[in-house]
Structure 1
Amino acid sequence: MNLFRAEMRRLTKRRVIRFFVFGTLALLAAIVVGMFATHQPSTPSVRAAAQAEADRDYRLAVESLAEEMRACETARGTAQAANYPPDCDPGYRPSKADYQAEYYMPPTFVFREQFGLMIVTLAALLAVMAYLVGASYVGAEWSSGAMMNLLLWRPQRLRVLSTKLGALTAGLTALTVLVSAAWTGLFALVADLRGTMDAMTSGAWQSFVLMEVRGLVLVLVAGAVGFGLASIGRHTAMALGTAIGAIIVFQFGLGTLLSLAQVHFVEAYLVPVWATAWMDKSITVTDWQPCDSVINPGCQAGTLTLTWPMAGGVLAALVILVVGVAMWTMRSRDVT
């Protein structure tokens, strides 16, 4: 039997992987339903209701101010006068400009403005799922002894491991492409029914497609890293422990330590910033360390722009390092 086809079957038949996939799809579906339920189109009836609510609040504010001023006038010359401003001047009077219908309108899903955030949400959730899938896929092979049995009739170690990684990559690619297409279609439907698709030019569509491609790359990187770490430790717990350690030590601990050491551009050392730079094409990190409001009130904070090619280099280096070590250990260590 073809090794790649066999690995694809193992990948799709494993129950824990199905659990991760279906759980992620359920969460994504809940997000779509939530966005649909909490947004409304800007129809004339909705605008009229918002205007009526704005006018009602304006009248209530005017009546409340008038009542407050009458109470102030009544309190003149009494001990209660200290509770009111001098000359009964409130200092602020309600204005129609403060009660516009736009302030009372329910949220409307504007596809061009809001779908980018939805792509980032999709990429983040799929990346977490891919990390868990990649780790459990090869980790279970090691812990159950299936890897040793497989190598009895397929003794080419690197070929076996690389085929497993190829099957994982192919599966994640197919899943991400299908889910991304469905995600785009569903939110286009949400915008059509609960918002607007206005201003969606060919350039805007191209930008969203490229963003989804970068999301696909992020998913593949997460899956490969989870796969590599679990293969190095020969157990799923290795990848999960590394992830927990990275969050606790490198995000919270390292961030706090660098801040105490007054290191410049602390955020540039944290993983979420690089992931954001990759998905949003760039991010500007601000360094407030040189500025002290007492010592140097006129200081201008320094800025550092991280671009998507820089973030891509970091992601590539991470994959090469982890997968390279996994391949090296597969070749050099005994399979026991």
Structure 2
Amino acid sequence: MSLFRTELRRLVKRRFTRYMTLLGLLVLAAVVVGVFFTNQKIDAGQLAKAERQADQQYQEQIRWSEQERVNCEQAKTAGTPNDGGRYPDDCSMITPPSRDQIQAEWFLPSTFNFRKTFDETLVPFAAILALVGFVVGASFVGAEWSTGGMMNLLLWRPKRLTVLLTKLAALLTGILAVTLPAAVLWFAGFWAVASFRGSTEKMTSGASQSFALTGVRGVALVLVLTTIGFALASLGRHTAMALGGVVALMVVGQFGLGILLSMASVKFAEAWLLPTYALAWMTKKVTLQDWNACNATYSGECKPDTMDITWQQSSVLFSIGLVVILGAALWTMRRRDIS
């Protein structure tokens, strides 16, 4: 019997795999349902109502500005022109905003615009399935070590690296078999949300290609984290090694490091945190800002220093991490005693 088919069958038959996968899919379904019920389709009546509310807001701003101008003049007459810094030296500077600055969109209910918003939904999609893949991958090989199944298997197939890599191939095949249909259903679900609770207008082939590329990056992230969970559990020969390692990394290495960098006023502290690179991988670029620096413009505006984290930089980081962790797992599998 083929070792690959045997491992794939073992993966599918495991109750933990089924329950964890089902839980992940239920969470994804809950997200789609939640977005459906929290959005509305905008009609002409709602647009007209929003315009009226914007006009009312504009009139209120005019009345407020006129009253504040009168109060400013009274304060100047009373000999307290600034009133503790409340008013400017020239009361004529107190003016209402222009009508076009008060937008009717502010008064519209939430609506789902597929072209503008769907790209953002791929981030939680990849994050949820990556978590499922990490836990399932760690459990799949960790249970084999803790129950003695790995030792029994190596009696049948004594080639250690072949056994471990075949297990990994079966795991990635199973995760991919779940992720790809889930991605199709995710797209269809949000298309339905946009059709009934939003808009699908202005969709072009370019936008569809952009969504597809983001989806491919999401699938790659799921497979990478699944492999890392598998490799960590193989290194520690227990599921807890992977789960404990990631908890320690996130709590101590990320939250603790973030607090430390913030207290030390390190410039672009987010550049040292792994979630920043995961987000950059999915969104193609994350721009960090340092508000402690001020770059004055000709108009007197203060702009912060910026730093871009790109998906290319993220790919290098994830590739190195994957090679190191998986390489260590393969090396220990070959060198350590199986007992």
- Same fold? TM cut 0.5: yes
Aligned amino acid, residue 211 of structure 2? F
Between the aligned partners of 2:264 and 2:107, the Cα distance in structure 1 is 47
Unpaired stretches in structure 1, ≥5 consecutive residues = 69-90
Q: Between Structure 1 and Structure 2, how many residues are aligned? A: 311
Aligned amino acid, residue 7 of structure 1? E
In the alignment, structure 1 residue 43 sits paired with structure 2 residue 46: no
| Match of residue 208 from structure 1 | 211
Measured against aligned partners, the alpha-carbon deviations of 1:88-113 in whole angstroms (never above 9, x if no partner) come to xxx89999879875333211100011
Could you tell me whether the CA contact under 8 Å between 1:266 and 1:287 is conserved in 2?
Answer: no
Matches within 5 A, 1:268-283: 268-283=271-286
Between the aligned partners of 1:222 and 1:2, the Cα distance in structure 2 is 26
Greater shift, 252-261 or 213-222, is seen at 252-261
In the alignment, structure 1 residue 110 sits paired with structure 2 residue 113: yes
| Match of residue 4 from structure 1 | 4
| Match of residue 124 from structure 1 | 127
Matches within 5 A, 1:130-145: 130-145=133-148
Measured against aligned partners, the alpha-carbon deviations of 1:191-248 in whole angstroms (never above 9, x if no partner) come to 1111111111100000000000000110011100000000000000000100110011
Moved over 4 A (4+): 48-59, 91-101, 288-292, 297-301
In the alignment, structure 1 residue 232 sits paired with structure 2 residue 226: no
Between the aligned partners of 1:300 and 1:100, the Cα distance in structure 2 is 25
Offset, 1:304: 2.1
Matches within 5 A, 1:28-177: 28-48=28-48, 50=50, 102-177=105-180
| Match of residue 16 from structure 1 | 16
Could you tell me whether the CA contact under 8 Å between 2:234 and 2:329 is conserved in 1?
Answer: yes
Offset, 1:290: 5.9
Offset, 1:301: 4.3
Could you tell me whether the CA contact under 8 Å between 2:294 and 2:305 is conserved in 1?
Answer: no
Could you tell me whether the CA contact under 8 Å between 1:284 and 1:305 is conserved in 2?
Answer: yes
In the alignment, structure 1 residue 250 sits paired with structure 2 residue 231: no
Offset, 1:19: 1.1
Offset, 1:284: 1.8
Matches within 5 A, 1:275-314: 275-288=278-291, 301-314=304-317
Q: Secondary structure at the match of 1:169?
A: helix
Greater shift, 16-25 or 49-58, is seen at 49-58
Aligned amino acid, residue 198 of structure 1? E
Aligned amino acid, residue 15 of structure 2? R
Question: What's the RMSD between the two structures over aligned residues?
Answer: 3.2
Between the aligned partners of 1:101 and 1:265, the Cα distance in structure 2 is 36
Between the aligned partners of 2:304 and 2:249, the Cα distance in structure 1 is 29
Unpaired stretches in structure 2, ≥5 consecutive residues = 68-93
| Match of residue 83 from structure 1 | none
Offset, 1:278: 0.6
Offset, 1:35: 0.7
Q: Mark the CA change 1:300 to 1:190 in structure 2 (over 3 Å): closer, same or farther.
A: closer
Q: Secondary structure at the match of 1:10?
A: helix
Greater shift, 298-307 or 221-230, is seen at 298-307
In the alignment, structure 1 residue 265 sits paired with structure 2 residue 268: yes
TM-score (norm 1): 0.83
Q: Mark the CA change 1:29 to 1:97 in structure 2 (over 3 Å): closer, same or farther.
A: same
Could you tell me whether the CA contact under 8 Å between 1:40 and 1:107 is conserved in 2?
Answer: yes
Offset, 1:163: 0.3
TM-score (norm 2): 0.82
Between the aligned partners of 2:254 and 2:308, the Cα distance in structure 1 is 20
Q: Secondary structure at the match of 2:306?
A: strand
Q: Mark the CA change 1:298 to 1:30 in structure 2 (over 3 Å): closer, same or farther.
A: closer
Q: Mark the CA change 1:93 to 1:332 in structure 2 (over 3 Å): closer, same or farther.
A: closer
Q: Mark the CA change 1:246 to 1:38 in structure 2 (over 3 Å): closer, same or farther.
A: same
Q: Secondary structure at the match of 2:170?
A: helix
Offset, 1:265: 2.5
Using the aligned pairs only, state the percent identity. Answer: 48
Between the aligned partners of 2:39 and 2:307, the Cα distance in structure 1 is 36
Could you tell me whether the CA contact under 8 Å between 1:278 and 1:312 is conserved in 2?
Answer: yes
